[in-house]
Amino acid sequence: MILREQSPQDEPKTPPAPGKKWQRVTVAENGQEVEKWIEVDAASAEGWPERAKMRLLNQDITRVDGPAKVTGAAQYAHDMRAPRMVYARFLRCPKPAAKIEKISLEAAAKMPRVVTAVSLGVEETRFLGQPIAVVAAETPDAAEEALRAIEVAYGALPWVLTHEQAVAENAPIAVKRKLKEGEKPGNRVDERKSGDRDAVRAAIEAAPHKVEFTYTLPVQHHACLETHGVMVDFRGGGEAVVHASTQGTFTVHDDAAEKLGLPAAKVRANVQYMGGGFGSKFGLGVEGEWACELARRLGRPVHLLLTRADEFLFAGNRSGAVQKLAGAMAADGTLLALDAEVDKLGGVSRGSFPGQPYIYKVGQSSSAIRYVYTNTDGARAMRGPGHPQASFGIESLIDELAYLAGQDLLEVRKKNLEDKVYHRQLERVAREIGWYEHPHRAKPGAHTEELGVGIGFAISTWGGGGSPACQVDVRIQRDGSATVTCGTQDLGTGTRTYMATIVAELLGLPATAVEARIGSSEYGAANPSGGSTTVASLAPAVLEAALGARAKLYAALAPALKTKPEALSLDVEGLLDAASGKRMSWKQLCALLPSEGLSARGEWKQAHAGRGVHGAQAAKVEVDTLTGRVRVLKMVGIHDCGIPMNRLTLKSQINGGMIQALSYALLEERVLEPALGAALNADFEGYKIAGTLEMPELVPLVDDDDTRQVVMGMSEAAIIPGHSAIANAVHNACGLRVRDLPITPDKVLMGLEKLRTQS
């Protein structure tokens, strides 16, 4: 339990309570990692089993919910139905900014099978696609027809959609805000500054090798297969169930109760399965709020899951970034100086960016981080918020400087990384990708070659820590059944599987013998899944519950067996009494339990969890200089995380991260028409993501040299470096540096033509 909280900056100066100590922990708030100092137990009596003795943990374990998903038995929020249920849809404003002068709902409300049409009360819209009305009908088609019958009179307001429009002189103000004393109005707002810029600039000018370039990353969409939304099963009585597609079972519960006008104890949140969130699904959102409001007004269940166009226009995104970086390198490859000017493009919100020089050590550096408002949907957390953007800038700059200095691209990274973990990880991916046999280690390939093959590298970091949030119950029944229960959600990362596996490991059972029950607010509390904090928060609580259940089991059996609890142990053959040498099967020993069986509750202990995830990735690409096509041939990724709960899932996470990074590097980009104020690819026809044809050979590696006997969440680290490695590989293949993602054939061809004219 959290006794006291302190600022995350420095370790608290006040002494902890007796038997406690201060511990810095990681919590997720709206998908962002936030660090806090809390008081925790000073020591833990038992911990994770030794790795050499693990039967199930740190092995390849098939997902326990795999059959339910592949057969279609798994029920998602989209699948939920109830008697008299209505379907709700939003009307979006088609302009980036507008006054709602008049809205007429009468015609829509009178249409067949339409139950109601409601204005959201918006007087002025702030971003393209902002919802302004909602309808509910007995079929989805009827709801869509009703939207077309709503009449709206829009008054013109000025707007800005792009970075260029937003920072132009006398640009319309996208977001009205209170100005600080002496601050001029504008869309570009200073967030934080660091370093002595004049000194850094002087160091750059004096250096033997220096470059200055701008690196641009587009807005990226989460592209969740299941769209945002809920089905609120409320029928006018005193209770309700909210079936939600959310990253936090308990993030929707209290707010839904308030919107429904019910006591929190009478509302249950249900998240048995959900189809992806990637940082975008926290809280009810406008969709959940209006589903609850309509259910309360109508006394009927309401199914409000966003359409795909809704998803693209107002369900959040990864913020874009424009980074102007100036850097300098010594002749021996040492990074001497870096100056960074960064604009975050978060729409009507601020976006994310961790800072530069990111992970690398630089002699001296300065930075100015700003956010730039536009009349587009606000950014939300997306896997590794801000880190992929920072990675692209610094990894590109290092490569450009290394070529000038004639340095090996791998060795120059190691030279500027103090943490030796990165050295071994970079060496490992280099061996796997074929770097030591590669001809272009310090000089890129020629742009005159028809097909160029290149290799690139990049690294990542993440916290992956946990906090005291989860309450886990393990129950053993007389019939031999065992369950582990927590209200946590599973985003598809294998939460059910490792919960069952931990308990099975401690009790000597197969993983399939333990049933994991999750996804209900009626179960023990749990943290939201964001910032890769779930496994480091949940797994330690599961371990504590399993240890407690085992101790209670020994205590209950010892009198019947006329022995001491400390003489008993469990393994795959059942119970062993070391004092007598007698054995008993699992079924036999459970039959000796009282009729109610036994249970134990576990909560987080800091000794079971850690933080500090590393990763390195390498990419090999082929560049067709005649067509401009870039084909990724192979990607290799290695990451650490302490004890792997499930190696099969861990490798799948690394693969998934590399695939998403490939998609970011080559395909994904929100496209807007700035003059007309329109979104041109708010669908999966126009918004391209990587598919089977783009998949290269993927080599996921678990860093087994990481011997930390703790658990950490690593999945977000896997998405951070891949696109940077691909961009560097393109440069390595043909000498072309594309500084504006995605790397599309037109950019390649135009860049190659420029190289030809300069040579």
Q: For residue 44, is pLDDT > 60?
A: no
Q: Using CA atoms, how far apart are residues 643 and 602, in angstroms rounded to an integer? A: 19
pLDDT classification of 362: cutoffs 50, 70, 90: very high
592, 633: one domain? no
Q: For residue 3, is pLDDT > 50?
A: no
Q: Using CA atoms, how far apart are residues 698 and 633, in angstroms rounded to an integer? A: 9
Q: What is the pLDDT of residue 694?
A: 97
Q: What is the pLDDT of residue 405?
A: 97
142, 256: one domain? yes
How do strand 209-217 and strand 320-329 relate by DSSP bridges?
A: antiparallel
pLDDT classification of 2: cutoffs 50, 70, 90: very low
Q: What is the pLDDT of residue 14?
A: 79
641, 678: one domain? yes
Residues ≥6 apart with Cβ < 8 Å to 320: 163, 216, 217, 218, 219, 220, 344, 345, 351, 389
Instruction: Answer whether residue 206 is part of any domain.
Output: no
Q: What is the pLDDT of residue 36?
A: 74
Q: Using CA atoms, how far apart are residues 253 and 258, in angstroms rounded to an integer? A: 9
Which pair of tokens denotes residue 578?
Answer: 């070391």
- 460 forms bridges with which residues in the sheet? 615
Contact 303, 228 (CB under 8 A): no
Task: Specify the number of domains making up the chain.
Answer: 3
Q: For residue 239, is pLDDT > 60?
A: yes
Residues ≥6 apart with Cβ < 8 Å to 93: 100, 122, 125, 128, 129, 130, 131, 132, 152, 154
Task: State how far the alpha carbon of 42 is from the alpha carbons of 45, 89, 551, in Å.
Answer: 10, 52, 21
Q: For residue 185, is pLDDT > 80?
A: yes
Contact 399, 416 (CB under 8 A): no
Burial 166-182 (b: 16+ CB within 10 A, else e): bbeeebebbbeeeeeee
pLDDT classification of 42: cutoffs 50, 70, 90: low
Average pLDDT over residues 356-373: 98
**475-512: per-residue pLDDT in tens?**
999 999 999 999 999 999 999 999 999 999 999 999 99
Q: Using CA atoms, how far apart are residues 719 and 387, in angstroms rounded to an integer? A: 9
Q: Using CA atoms, how far apart are residues 510 and 181, in angstroms rounded to an integer? A: 65
Which pair of tokens denotes residue 413?
Answer: 């990274």
SS3 120: coil
357, 445: one domain? yes
- Please identify, among 574, 608, 642, the residue that sits at the C-terminal boundary of a domain: 608
Residues ≥6 apart with Cβ < 8 Å to 533: 26, 27, 28, 33, 463, 464, 465, 466, 467, 527, 713
- Please classify residue 743 by burial: count the beta carbons closer than 10 Å to its beta carbon, then call 0-12 exposed, 13-18 middle and 19+ buried: buried
300, 324: one domain? no
Q: Using CA atoms, how far apart are residues 691 and 663, in angstroms rounded to an integer? A: 9
Average pLDDT over residues 221-237: 97
Instruction: Answer whether residue 717 is part of any domain.
Output: yes
Q: What is the pLDDT of residue 12?
A: 78
pLDDT classification of 4: cutoffs 50, 70, 90: very low
Q: What is the pLDDT of residue 46?
A: 87
Average pLDDT over residues 187-207: 97
Amino acid sitting at position 606: Q
572, 687: one domain? no
Which pair of tokens denotes residue 617?
Answer: 């990735």
Instruction: Answer whether residue 657 is part of any domain.
Output: yes
The count of residues in the chain is 759
* Token pair 């339409």 in the structure block, residue: 114
- Please identify, among 305, 340, 373, the residue that sits at the C-terminal boundary of a domain: 305
Q: What is the pLDDT of residue 41?
A: 62
How do strand 320-329 and strand 335-345 relate by DSSP bridges?
A: antiparallel
Percent of the chain predicted with pLDDT > 90: 92
**336-352: per-residue pLDDT in tens?**
999 999 999 999 999 99
> What is the reported pTM?
0.95
568, 682: one domain? no
**CATH code of the domain covering residue 58:** 3.30.365.10
Contact 488, 470 (CB under 8 A): yes
Q: What is the secondary structure of 746-758 as a DSSP string?
A: HHHHHHHHHHHHH
686, 592: one domain? no
Q: For residue 378, is pLDDT > 70?
A: yes
Q: What is the pLDDT of residue 181?
A: 86
Q: Report the alpha-carbon angle 339-343-348, nearest 5.
A: 160
Q: What is the pLDDT of residue 10?
A: 64
Q: Domain of 104?
A: 78-158+228-305
Instruction: Answer whether residue 400 is part of any domain.
Output: yes
337, 414: one domain? yes
Q: Using CA atoms, how far apart are residues 72 and 590, in angstroms rounded to an integer? A: 34
Q: What is the mean pLDDT of the chain?
A: 95
Q: What is the pLDDT of residue 162?
A: 97
Q: Using CA atoms, how far apart are residues 689 and 537, in angstroms rounded to an integer? A: 32
Instruction: Answer whether residue 187 is part of any domain.
Output: no
Cβ count near 451 (within 10 Å): 13
Helices (H), 524-584: 534-561
583, 458: one domain? no
Instruction: Answer whether residue 44 is part of any domain.
Output: no
Instruction: Answer whether residue 197 is part of any domain.
Output: no
**691-740: per-residue pLDDT in tens?**
999 999 999 999 999 999 999 999 999 999 999 999 999 999 999 999 99
Residues ≥6 apart with Cβ < 8 Å to 91: 131, 132, 133, 134, 135, 147, 150, 152
Q: For residue 626, is pLDDT > 90?
A: yes
Instruction: Answer whether residue 35 is part of any domain.
Output: no
**CATH code of the domain covering residue 148:** 3.90.1170.50
637, 727: one domain? yes
**243-275: per-residue pLDDT in tens?**
999 999 999 989 999 999 999 999 999 999 999
- Please identify, among 578, 608, 638, the residue that sits at the C-terminal boundary of a domain: 608
Burial 291-323 (b: 16+ CB within 10 A, else e): bbbbbbebebbbbbbbbeebbbbbbbbbbbbbb
Q: What is the pLDDT of residue 198?
A: 98
As a three-state string, the secondary structure of 615-684 is EEEEEEEEEECCCCCEEEEEEEEEECCECCCCHHHHHHHHHHHHHHHHHHHHCCCCCEECCCCEECCCCC
380, 501: one domain? no
Burial 420-436 (b: 16+ CB within 10 A, else e): ebbbbbbbbbbebbebe
Amino acid sitting at position 481: S
